[in-house]
Amino acid sequence: MKNRILALRISGLMTSFSLGFAMILLGTPVLGADGGETGSEYTQPMTPWGEPDLRGTWPINHLIGVPQVRPAEYGNQAILTDEEFAEKQASVAARDERFQGGAIPVADAAGRALRQTSLIIDPVDGQFPELTDYGKELQANMKGSYHPTQTVFDQIEDFSAWDRCITRGMPVSMLARNYNNGVRIFQSPGYVVIQLEMAHEARIIPTGDVPALDSNIKQWLGESRGRWEGNTLVVETTNFNGRTQKTSAGNPGSPRPLQPTTTNQRIIERFTRVADDTIDFEMKIEDPQVLATGSYTVAYPTFLDNDYAIYEYACHEGNTTVRNYIETSRYERAQAGE
C-alpha cells in the first residue's frame, strides 16, 4: 500500500544534543550526551517581520531509536546512563547499517541516538495511560489492518483512515515511522505551515487574530490555532473528528493494541528553538473521555537538516491492498464453511 524507494540518508552519530522541554518538565537540568549541562544562553533568530524563526527542515528519523512507551526495566528513569547510552549508540548504528546496507534502502537511518528512555515524559513512568471504560469500549470497536485480532474485512469501513491513505491523524503525525520522516516548517506573517512527508499533509496554523471554527466543524487533523509566548510557538488543536488513532503500530514502542480518539481530544504543542540546529518539541494530548488520567505528554528534540530530501508520498496510486484484504478475508471464511 505504501510502496516507496527510499533514498539513502545516513548521518554520523552525534554525541551531543539538547533535551530542552523534556528535562525542564521533569525538573532536572538540561543534559548533553556526555552528562554535562548545556548552555542556557541563546539568541533566537527572527524572521524579517519580527517573529521567532523556526523555518527549515527538521526531520524526526532520529526518534526511530526512542520508544514511545518506556521499557519496564527503566521504571521512572527518564535518561540513559553513560553505559546505557553507549549501548544505544551501537544499537542504532547497527540498525542503520542493517537496513541501509542493501542495494535498495528499506528504512530511514535513525542517524543518532538520544538519551531519552521514552518519548512519553508524563506520566513520569513513561507509560501510556490506562483507558476509561468508554475508551475500552471504543478500542474494542476499532477497525483496521493493524488491529491485532481483526480477521473480517468486508467493506471499506473495516479499514482505518491510515489503511485508506487518508491520514495518520494527530498526535501520530508528529511521531516517527521507519520511513518518510521529513518535517518542514514554513512561515509567513500570521501563519506557520508544518509540512509532513508521511501522507503528504500540510498543517496550516494561523498565528494571528483568526477566530476559531464552529465546534460542529470536525476535521481529520483537527483545527489548529497558534500563538507566540516569548520565543515559543504554542499550537492548540481541537475540532477532531474522532475517526483516527492516538497510536500507530508503525511508531516504534507504540502501546498495543490501538488507542482511540474522540471529538473532544485537545492537543497543545510547543516549539522552542534552543540552538541554531535544535528545536525542542513538546506535545500534550488531552482526552478525558478515553484517558483515565486525562492526558499524557510527549517531548523530544529535533535537529535542522536542510539537506534532507522530502519525497512525494503517493500512497494510493496502484493500491490494491484494500481489495486484496477483502477478497482474502471472504475466501478464508468460505473455506472455513462460513
Of 13-27, 258-272, 299-313, the one with minimum mean pLDDT is 13-27
Please give the C-alpha separations between residue 46 and each of 39, 189, 192, 194, in angstroms, as whole numbers.
Answer: 20, 12, 14, 18
> Residue 327 has which C-alpha cell?
477478497
Q: What is the mean pLDDT of residues 158-163?
A: 91
Residue 160 pLDDT greater than 50, yes or no = yes
Predicted confidence band of residue 152 (pLDDT cuts 50, 70, 90): very high
Amino acid 233: pLDDT: 98
Which is more confidently placed, 63 or 179?
63
Q: What is the pLDDT of residue 8?
A: 28
| DSSP count for the chain of H helices, then E strands | 4, 10
Q: Does pLDDT of 16 surpass 70?
A: no
Of residues 60 and 6, the one with the higher pLDDT is 60
Question: Is residue 260 pLDDT above 90, yes or no?
Answer: yes
Burial class (CB in 10 A: 0-12, 13-18, 19+), 140: exposed
Report the chain's mean pLDDT, rounded to a whole number.
87
More confident residue, 257 or 188: 188
Which of 144-148, 185-189, 329-333 bottoms out in mean pLDDT, i.e. has the lowest?
A: 144-148
Give the model's pLDDT for residue 23: 40
Q: Residue 6 above 60 pLDDT?
A: no
Predicted confidence (pLDDT) at residue 5 exceeds the cutoff of 60 = no
- Give the mean model confidence (pLDDT) for residues 266-277: 98
Q: Which amino acid is at 134?
A: Y
| 3-class secondary structure per residue, 39-78 | CCCCCCCECCCCCECCCEECCCHHHHHCCCCCCHHHCCCC
Cell of 284: 500534550
- Compute the radius of gyration of the chain from its Cα atoms: 20
Mean pLDDT of 110-134: 96
Percent of the chain with pLDDT over 70: 88
CB-based contacts of 95-102 (< 8 A; 24+ apart in sequence): 95/64, 95/65, 96/10, 99/178, 100/8, 100/10
Taking alpha carbons only, the member of 6, 307, 59 closest to residue 176 is 59
Q: Which pLDDT belongs to residue 338?
A: 59
**Dist CA 285 CA 294 (whole Å):** 8
> For 116-127, what is the mean pLDDT?
97
Taking residues 107-120, what's their average pLDDT?
A: 93
pLDDT at 12 over 70: no
Is the per-residue pLDDT at 38 higher than 50? no
Confidence band of 139 (pLDDT split at 50, 70, 90) = very high
Cβ atoms within 10 Å of 40's Cβ, excluding its own: 8
Residue 279 pLDDT greater than 60, yes or no: yes
Using alpha carbons, list the distances in angstroms from residue 171 to 48, 55, 77.
Answer: 31, 21, 24
pLDDT tens digits, 189-209: 999 999 999 988 999 999 998
Residue with cell 497543545: 268
pLDDT at residue 182 tops 70: yes
